[in-house]
Structure 1
Amino acid sequence: MIAVIYGSTTGNTSDAAVKIAKILGEDQVELFDVKDVGLAALEFFDHIIFAIPTWDYGEVQADWQDVWDEIDDTDFSSKTVAFLGMGDQFAYAEWFQDAMGMLHDKVVAKGAKVIGHWPVEGYEFDASKALTADKQFFVGLALDEDCQPELTEGRLEQWCEQLKSSLLKAA
């Protein structure tokens, strides 16, 4: 089984989590709203997809903020993880997908193996904490429901196909 854990204020991130479950197979995925379960449920999963929106000027969404310090006390060394971020690349171009990058850094520091990098082509932004070292990829799938909602479905389908070989073979 794959855990998809998300925090969502407007519903965009939870909608994306539901779509991931449908694409990967609802029999393979268990959805968790971080505000309801915290991080405790993750200990039972070897494969985790984190879904997090960036708020305002590079801030972590409120539900994630409530468990932010717990991440530092969680061992992810036996986990394979992927990240999905929500952001607005035009209104917040200097902080696009920052929360995804900050969550990635915390989880990697606790030993996680990361899959699911996503190319930066097709986005317009000034800066992001969610870029790989070579700045050619995001550390996970970057979605923008504010400025590019028409691309969400295709990006989710393509990204989930990319993840399937790593996640479903051992799930």
Structure 2
Amino acid sequence: MAKIGLFFGSNTGKTRKVAKMIKKKYDDELVAAPLNVNRISAEDFMAYEYLIIGTPTLGEGELPGLSSDCDAESWEEFLPKLEDASFDGKTIAIYGLGDQVGYPDEFLDAMGELHEFFTERGAKVIGAWPTEGYEFEHSEAIGEDGKFVGLALDLDNQSGMTEERLNVWLSMIAGEFGLPA
């Protein structure tokens, strides 16, 4: 089994695209094939000590799921399956997709929701990302240190920066996950 689980929720496929970009950089022994959370069990998710997870922010700052008009279940329906799980000893890195121009008041809020969910259950979340280079009004994904709680991506307005940001972020988290930098 691979060392790191790679999971995402998506609606349009952009978050899946980023997961595939991550997977392309590592072999099967290091990073597992990316899986949509609507196709896995809680046991599949809990099998990993190290996790990279991704989410878009939809509508008014919501996690993807049926109530946010997704075509299929996603994080909204999956998280309740993990409600009673302990994430003590697990390390998680989060990437989030948002639209800072179209939704400047809830930019990346869903990433903040995932961060809160997993830290409340004991996970160590790594990969904080600077807010410089983004223009938005408010985000629930900003931690106490003034940084985003994970990698902030805007494929709608800054798609040309995605690969570089992803490479820098993966280098940042590499040591925590035992990955080559």
Per the normalisation by structure 1, the TM-score is 0.94
Q: Quote the Cα distance in structure 1 between the aligned partners of 2:27 and 2:128.
A: 21
Superposed counterparts of 1:1-171, under 5 Å = 1-30=3-32, 31-62=34-65, 63-135=74-146, 137-168=147-178
Deviation digits for residues 102-135 of structure 1, max 9, x if unmatched? Answer: 1100100000011100000000111111001132
Letter in 2 for 1:113: K
Structure 2: runs of 5+ lacking an equivalent: 66-73
Q: Quote the Cα distance in structure 2 between the aligned partners of 1:152 and 1:39.
A: 30
Instruction: Using the aligned pairs only, state the percent identity.
Output: 38
Q: Quote the Cα distance in structure 1 between the aligned partners of 2:76 and 2:41.
A: 11
Q: Do the aligned residues in 2 keep the contact of 1:3 with 1:49 (CA within 8 Å)?
A: yes
> Cα distance, 1:84 vs. partner?
0.4
Higher relative contact order (CA 8 A, sep 6+): 1
Structure 1: runs of 5+ lacking an equivalent: none
Q: Do the aligned residues in 2 keep the contact of 1:24 with 1:164 (CA within 8 Å)?
A: no
Q: Which has the higher strand share?
A: 1
| Counterparts in 2 of 1:39 and 1:52: CA distance versus 1, 3 Å | farther
> Cα distance, 1:23 vs. partner?
2.2
Letter in 2 for 1:152: T
Q: Do the aligned residues in 2 keep the contact of 1:23 with 1:160 (CA within 8 Å)?
A: no
Per the normalisation by structure 2, the TM-score is 0.89
> Cα distance, 1:26 vs. partner?
4.0
Q: Quote the Cα distance in structure 1 between the aligned partners of 2:125 and 2:48.
A: 15
Deviation digits for residues 121-154 of structure 1, max 9, x if unmatched? Answer: 000111111001132x100001001110000000
CA RMSD of aligned residues (A): 1.2
> Cα distance, 1:72 vs. partner?
2.1
2:71 matched residue in structure 1 = none
Q: Quote the Cα distance in structure 1 between the aligned partners of 2:52 and 2:41.
A: 14
Moved >6 Å (runs of 4+):
none
> Cα distance, 1:90 vs. partner?
0.8
